[in-house]
Amino acid sequence: MKVFFLNIPYHSRFTRESRSPGVAPSGTLYYPIYLSLAAGLVRKHGFTIDFLDAPAKDYDLARTEERVEKFQPDLIVATTVTASVFHDVQAMERLAQKTGAMTMLVGTHPTARPLETLKMSSRLDIVAVGEYDFTILEVVRHFDQGKSRAGLSGVQGIAYRLDEQLILNERRPWHENLDEIPWASLIYRDFLKIEHYSYGAQLHPEVTIVSGRGCPYQCTFCVFPQTITGQRYRPRSVKDVVDEMEFIQKTWPHNKEIMFEDDTLTVDKDRMRQLSEEILRRGLKVTWSGNARADFDDVALLKLMKKAGCRLFCVGFESADQAILDEMKKGGATIQIRERFVKACAEAGIMIHGCFLFGGANETPATMRGTLEMAKRMNLDTAQFFPIMVYPGTRAYEEAKASGELDSENYDEWLRGSGYYASQVHRGELTGEAIAKFTDRAYHEFYLRPLFMLRKLWQCLVSPQECSRILYGFGFFIKKLLTREKAS
């Protein structure tokens, strides 16, 4: 059984594994982490695979077809998201026609809308629902053993086509022992180039991995925990994580940073202590960063993490308005707690990349302005601003739909022409267009402040490593300014 794993070609640097899929203003391109983990698991069990990240390699569909045809797969597995699902289904149709292979879509959108996704094309055979590593493996084993499509009724975590019927099976339980899944970096080594990927706040080149899945917090807009990873933290063992960090540094000596794309890396303080101590015990000289929650103010632990190589946290501050935070179910992340977090990180020498959302429930021009002014005051290293994106499968989507504030369910309208994400939410008299325009303005006001630019100039003078990252990101920022589209 031969399996082709594909990140389907679309816009250049189109990211599907971001929490807001699309082309990012910073030029960020995420690794196809979860697709890589699934591919590694299938390969570990003896099956022949190929793997292509078409947006990273700038492959168009014709070139992708050539690569897939040459491999002659029995099954093509591709990831999809709401903003690209129509395009992705059409691409899978063409690949199925060219190769005769079975097709399977995985990811956040098929999880939220499995039967709807299957209905989009008669050439789409299977979709995965939820966490899909072991689901794909079971499907591959099923057909490798010569079993019929009718026998798929026993495979958890899929919806599939059987003649004219569309059948939805029961969901697969979350997998507990994540150490059983081969490292994503093994697939990166064999099929990807780390230079193709960048994360606006990280040094370049960087390697992104996950040390655990799921998040116990209940943020209504966050799509991954509500669809793919779950709302309970399931960590890998510290040994397995640090073993992979060592492998990364030996495989790519020129790599400058490891990014942990866990939904919330800092959920378990004891584990953060153990991770830091293990890095130091091995004498591993590595720079790393991760997604953190703004309630982590243990200065002693932060200093230990800094000593072990922690450089930066990516933090979802979202809004300066407490009522909006409460509606988002940010759960305890009050303004005062966040101020203590920022102060503690500054004392430990850990930088912060702040993430902010415009368009939460009951948002107004005044609350958006308050959030932007707070972002300016926080002395952050970098920041990103998003119009709120409410995806199928999230409580935020259902709430916006119920309140009549969801503007469109036509998924083709969820991107601007060049691939930038486009929110489909309005709040009262505050239109979606107004939210998008303010988001663009926020980038300009935040990054073009004279004091901020002087700080970045000083950072360049004292740290060549940071200077390279600053100049790399600034190039994408200028490109966005020069090619800015009408907000929509």
Residue 371 has pLDDT above 60, yes or no: yes
pLDDT value of position 480:
58
What mean pLDDT is predicted for residues 389-403?
Answer: 96
What confidence tier does 460 reach under pLDDT thresholds 50, 70, 90?
confident
- 481 band by pLDDT with thresholds 50, 70 and 90: low
Do residues 382 and 477 both lie within one domain? Answer: yes
Range scoring the smallest mean pLDDT among 189-198, 321-330, 364-373, 392-401: 321-330
CA distance linking residue 359 with residue 407, whole number of Å = 13
Domain hosting residue 24, numbered range: 2-168
- One domain, residues 307 and 420: yes
Query: What pTM did the predictor assign?
Result: 0.94
Q: Mean pLDDT across the stretch 443-448?
A: 92
- For the segment 31-48, the average pLDDT, to the nearest whole number, is 98
Largest CA distance in the chain: 67
When the pLDDT of each residue in the chain is averaged and rounded to a whole number, the result is 93
Whether residue 483 is predicted with pLDDT greater than 60 in this model: the reply is no
Better-predicted residue by pLDDT, 458 or 284: 284
For residue 69, give the CATH number of its domain: 3.40.50.280
* pLDDT category of residue 486 using cuts at 50, 70 and 90: very low
Please check whether residue 259 lies inside any domain of the structure.
yes
Q: Output 128 or 335, whichever has higher pLDDT.
A: 128
Q: What is the mean pLDDT of residues 91-99?
A: 97
For residue 177, give both structure tokens. 């022992």
Place of tokens 């939904």: 263
- Position 459: which residue type? Q
pLDDT of residue 484: 52
Q: Is residue 267 situated within a structural domain?
A: yes
Q: Are residues 220 and 366 in the same domain?
A: yes
Place of tokens 């200093």: 303
- Token pair of 112, please? 């939220």
pLDDT at 473: 63
Residue 454 is predicted with a pLDDT of 86
In this structure, are 217 and 361 located in the same domain? yes
Regarding whether 203 and 282 lie in a shared domain, the answer is yes
Residue 127 sits in the same domain as residue 213: no
Question: Taking 90 as the threshold, does the pLDDT of residue 334 lie above it?
Answer: no
What's the rounded Cα separation, in Å, for the pair 286 and 201? Answer: 17
Confidence at 24, pLDDT banded by 50, 70, 90: confident
Smallest CA-to-CA distance from 232 within 317, 273, 174 is with 174
Q: What was the pLDDT predicted at 172?
A: 97
Checking if the pLDDT of 73 tops 70, the result is: yes
Rg (CA), the chain: 22
- At 233, the pLDDT band (50, 70, 90 cuts) reads very high
The amino acid sitting at 322 is: Q
Read off the pLDDT band of 487 (50, 70, 90). Answer: very low
CA 58 vs CA 173, 359, 428, 442: distances in Å: 36, 33, 41, 30
Shared domain for 206 and 162, answered yes or no, is no
**Residue 7 pLDDT exceeds 90:** yes
For the segment 7-15, the average pLDDT, to the nearest whole number, is 94
Our CA angle for 75, 76, 79, nearest 5°, is 140
Structural domain contains residue 182: no
Query: Which pLDDT does position 80 carry in this prediction?
Result: 98
Q: For residues 73 and 405, what is the distance between their CA atoms, to the nearest angstrom?
A: 44
The answer on 205 and 131 residing in a single domain is no
Distance CA 8, CA 196 (A): 16
pLDDT tens-digit series, residues 136-147: 999 999 999 999
More reliable by pLDDT, 159 or 26: 159
| Predicted pLDDT of residue 475 | 60
Asked if 457 and 406 touch (Cβ cutoff 8 Å), the reply is no
Asked whether residue 260 carries a pLDDT value surpassing 80, the answer given is: yes
Looking at the domain assignment, is residue 307 inside a domain? yes
Read off the pLDDT of each residue in 44-66 and give the average, rounded to a whole number. Answer: 97
Q: Is 63 exposed, middle or buried (0-12, 13-18, 19+ CB in 10 A)?
A: middle
Domain boundary among 150, 168, 186: 168
Which residue among 122, 152, 168 closes a domain? 168
Amino acid at site 403: S
Confidence of residue 20 (pLDDT cuts 50, 70, 90): confident
In a domain, 54, yes or no: yes
Q: Do 158 and 256 have their domain in common?
A: no
- Rounded to whole angstroms, the Cα distance separating 167 from 245 reads 41
Residues linked to residue 76 through DSSP beta bridges, in sequence order: 4, 103
98, 205: one domain = no
Residues 82 and 131 in one domain: yes
Distances (CA, A) of 239 to 211, 251, 256: 11, 18, 21
List the CATH number of the domain containing 464. Answer: 3.80.30.20
pLDDT band at 109 (very low <50, low <70, confident <90, very high): very high
Within-domain flag for 135: yes
pLDDT digits (tens, 9 = 90+) for 278-313: 999 999 999 999 999 998 889 999 999 999 999 999
For the chain, give the percent of residues with pLDDT over 90: 82
Q: How many domains does the chain have?
A: 2
Whether 375 maps to a domain, the answer reads yes
User: How many CB atoms are located within 10 Å of the residue 373 CB?
Assistant: 12
Does 353 score more than 80 pLDDT? yes
User: Does residue 141 sit in the same domain as residue 206?
Assistant: no
190 domain residue, yes or no: no
How far CA 408 is from CA of 18, 138, 226, in Å, comes to 21, 36, 21
